[in-house]
Amino acid sequence: MDVVPSANTGAGTGPVATTAVGTLADFLRDPLTGLGSLLTLRRDLELMIDRFQPFGSRPALLLIDIDGFAHLNGRHGRAVGDAVLQATADRLRTILPSGESAYRTGGDEFVAVLPSIPMIDGVTAAGQLLEALTQPVVVGGVEVALSASVALVMLGHRNRVDALLRDADVTMYRAKTEGGGRVDLYNWEVDSWSTTRRRDVARLEQEVEQLRLQNQVLTEALTLDLYTGLPNGLAFEADHEQVDAWRRRSGEPYSLLRVRVDGITGGDWSPDSPAGAEALRTIAHSVRDTVRLSDRAYVVGTGDLVVLLRGSVMKQAVAAAERVRSGVARQEVPHPGDQTRQLSVSVAAIEAGFRHATPDDVLRELETLLESAISAGGDRINWPH
């Protein structure tokens, strides 16, 4: 178990920030651990490939990844995460014999290169490396348990650095997929496994997309009025709750309109008849098309609509109410029970304010205003005077 001193955060003790452009040597060395960087690794691998002899022992590349490092960072903090990376680098320096190289290639990934070794010995070395690197680390009195995965690639059938690193990445991916905490050796089966895995992932992504679309259709079916295509009462309740909560947090005003077709509750015509249904659909679409694009109209009952006007005060709501009423009048929708008459609407307008403790309080006052307009003969608007 390695003991690492806790990070000192006192003033003047940390690294000094600089905007100076670094030298090539700066890019060849990882600043946190002092190991070689990815640039150094690529350079060394190029030289190794150039000198490689296809017979006898072969160089080995060991890609090392700390399992669950993001969770470790989130739980213990970045200072502890950095200390774990530094401890891992120190262990690599101690474990690797002279002539063997270690690199930090980014994040929690390290690479060890063994210049010339039989494959069986490479597997043994990887196992020993894994055992040493997964010993707990103590940082500032806190013991941090570690797990790691190692991907082993023997140099031989690849003559390009990118291909060699790709083999290591694919092998590491398989090790992680199988649960991590293990050594995985690259072979030709890994390529086949990777291809199959990609196909499975692509298939699952397609299935997830199909489920998402199905869920979207179901959601729309639950929140749309079937006769008019407008959002229904469930959609209004959800939107109203959100807008009212936002008003309380931000102070942004909003207003509501309640629109009801005159005579719909008097029983002098049937909204269930084809003519009645078409009349309601025409009026609902007129209301929707009359209000602003930023407003939203909802069908909350038979011949009953609500319009949510975000960012609107009382004066704007009254003007919108009159546009809705006159807009329906211009449609000249025939009365389903008496073709010599035309349908009209009554509209109530209200701005949500301090006197409304809940969204339901707004709706109750709005309903009272609407009933008053209907009682006065309909085809009119009403608001708090």
* Bridge-based pairing state of the strands 137-139 and 142-144: antiparallel
The pLDDT value recorded for residue 158 is: 66
Q: Can you point out the beta strands (E) in the chain?
A: 2-4, 58-66, 101-106, 109-117, 137-139, 142-144, 148-154, 183-185, 254-261, 296-301, 304-310, 334-335, 338-342, 345-351, 381-382
Kindly report, residue by residue over 48-104, the tens digit of the pLDDT.
887 776 666 788 899 999 999 999 888 888 899 999 999 999 999 998 877 678 999
pLDDT, residue 13, reads 44
Please tell me whether residues 51 and 179 are part of one structural domain.
yes
Q: Choose the final residue of a domain: 157, 186, 215.
A: 186
Let me know whether 262 and 133 are in one domain: no
Q: Do 285 and 354 have their domain in common? A: yes
Total domains, the chain:
2
Residues 60 and 173 in one domain: yes
Q: Considering the domain boundaries, does residue 16 fall inside one?
A: no
Q: Are residues 148 and 284 in the same domain?
A: no
Q: Considering the domain boundaries, does residue 321 fall inside one? A: yes
pLDDT at position 288: 93
Residues 179 and 263 in one domain: no
**Beta strand ranges found along 171-223 (DSSP E):** 183-185
Residue 56: its pLDDT value, please? Answer: 64
Residue 192 pLDDT: 62
> pLDDT by residue (tens digit) across 15-28?
444 444 455 666 78
Same domain, 128 and 239: no
Domain presence at residue 249? yes
pLDDT at position 54 is 62
> Does a structural domain hold residue 210?
no
Q: Are residue 170 and residue 304 in the same domain, yes or no?
A: no
Among the three residues 156, 186, 216, which one is the final residue of a domain in this structure? 186
Domain boundaries, position 177: 2-6+21-186
Angle at 12 between CA 10 and CA 13, to 5 degrees: 65
Q: What is the 3-state secondary structure (H, E, C) of 236-263?
A: HHHHHHHHHHHHHHHCCCEEEEEEEECC
Quick one: 331 and 276 in the same domain?
yes
Q: Which residue positions in the chain have pLDDT lower than 50? A: 8-21
242 shares a domain with 99: no
CATH code: domain of residue 352: 3.30.70.270
d(CA 211, CA 206): 9
Cα–Cα distance for residue pair 153/108, rounded to 1 Å: 19
The pTM is what? 0.49
The reply to whether 211 falls in a domain is no
Q: Is residue 351 in a domain?
A: yes
- Looking at residue 14, its pLDDT comes to 44
| 201 in any annotated domain | no
Q: Which of 166, 186, 206 is the last residue before a domain boundary?
A: 186
For residue 266, tell me if it sits in a domain: yes
167 and 28 fall within a common domain: yes
CB atoms under 10 Å from CB of 237, counted, come to 17
* 182/66 same-domain check: yes
